[in-house]
Amino acid sequence: MANRTLIVYPNKDLMIQAGAQRLTLTLLDLLAERLPNGSRRERVDVALSGGSAAQPLGLVLSDPLAASIDWSRVHFWWSDERFVPVDSADRNALEARRLLLDQLIADGRLPESNIHEMAPDVRPADEIAKVTADAASTDEFVRSAADAENNALLDAAARRYEDELTRELGPEPVIDLMILGMGPDGHYASLFPASSGHHEVEVRDRLAVGVSHSPKMPPLRVSLSAPLIARSHRTWFFAAGAGKAESLAHVFAGADKGGDPEYPSSFAGGVDEFIWFSTEETVVQLV
């Protein structure tokens, strides 16, 4: 595993701008890479996330170097997704499309088939509303039935994504570049602290997992598993803001001990490169 590198910027805006330029240059470098047999790399696989980790996407096309990227050889995945209707503003994929992917498709530079979204919730809106209410019911029978329905759908969505990953990347899929953010509680992707009743970060026999009753809305999600994320060739984290300072200190301490379920981001890693991009106010508690 690569050693952790911490890069600290004066503010979030500069961190995002630097992230966009680094993404452009990294894609160019990877696409130009020659394999041991002398052939060129056929594709680059990038996993995206939401929030501040997605913001560099909006600046990519303003970089003159972006015009030289062969986007037809870049494939986009997601570290996690909110299990909501496909047109919901909560969708990480919708945000990435708005910031970058839709423009690339419109320009004819990126095939739609290179975008590998996690499945949306296709139930009618009234059915989603009813099951959501039932999942919060004080009636144990009603709540259990709603949970069973949701969990079955989430597991099916996770398994479909696993199937797509293995079909595209082989039985032991590896992502070339994993781009992540960290929440104020130390979660990453949709892998939440054990104290919130979630132990998905400890799952070792799956490529993707369903997550219900997420402590952060919306409540239903699908996430890549911790082992899949950790074996990415390159992993980048974007973490900014004073509200994340305490968690970042715990994450680094936990990572040095092999991982702490209370601070899930401590389980992340990268095989060739592992970088945390942060800001001055976020690293004040690091020793």
For residue 287, what pLDDT is reported?
A: 67
The DSSP symbol for 282 reads G
What pairs with residue 238 in β-bridges?
A: 181, 277
For residue 35, what pLDDT is reported?
A: 85
Which amino acid appears at position 3 of this protein? N
- What global pTM score does this model have? 0.97
For residue 36, what pLDDT is reported?
A: 87
The DSSP symbol for 97 reads I
Over 98-166, what HEC string results? HHHHHHHHHCCCCCHHHECCCCCCCCCHHHHHHHHHHHCCCCHHHHHHHHHHHHHHHHHHHHHHHHHHH
- Entry field: residues in the chain: 287
Q: 48, exposed or middle or buried, with CB in 10 Å at 0-12, 13-18, 19+? A: buried
**Each residue of 143-202: pLDDT tens digit?**
999 999 999 999 999 999 999 999 999 999 999 999 999 999 999 999 999 999 999 999
What pairs with residue 200 in β-bridges?
A: none
Could you check whether the bond before residue 173 is cis, i.e. omega within 30 degrees of 0? no
CATH number listed for the domain at residues 5-33+41-282: 3.40.50.1360
What pairs with residue 111 in β-bridges?
A: none
- Tell me the pairing of strands 80-82 and 221-224: antiparallel
Which of the residues in the chain have pLDDT under 70? 287
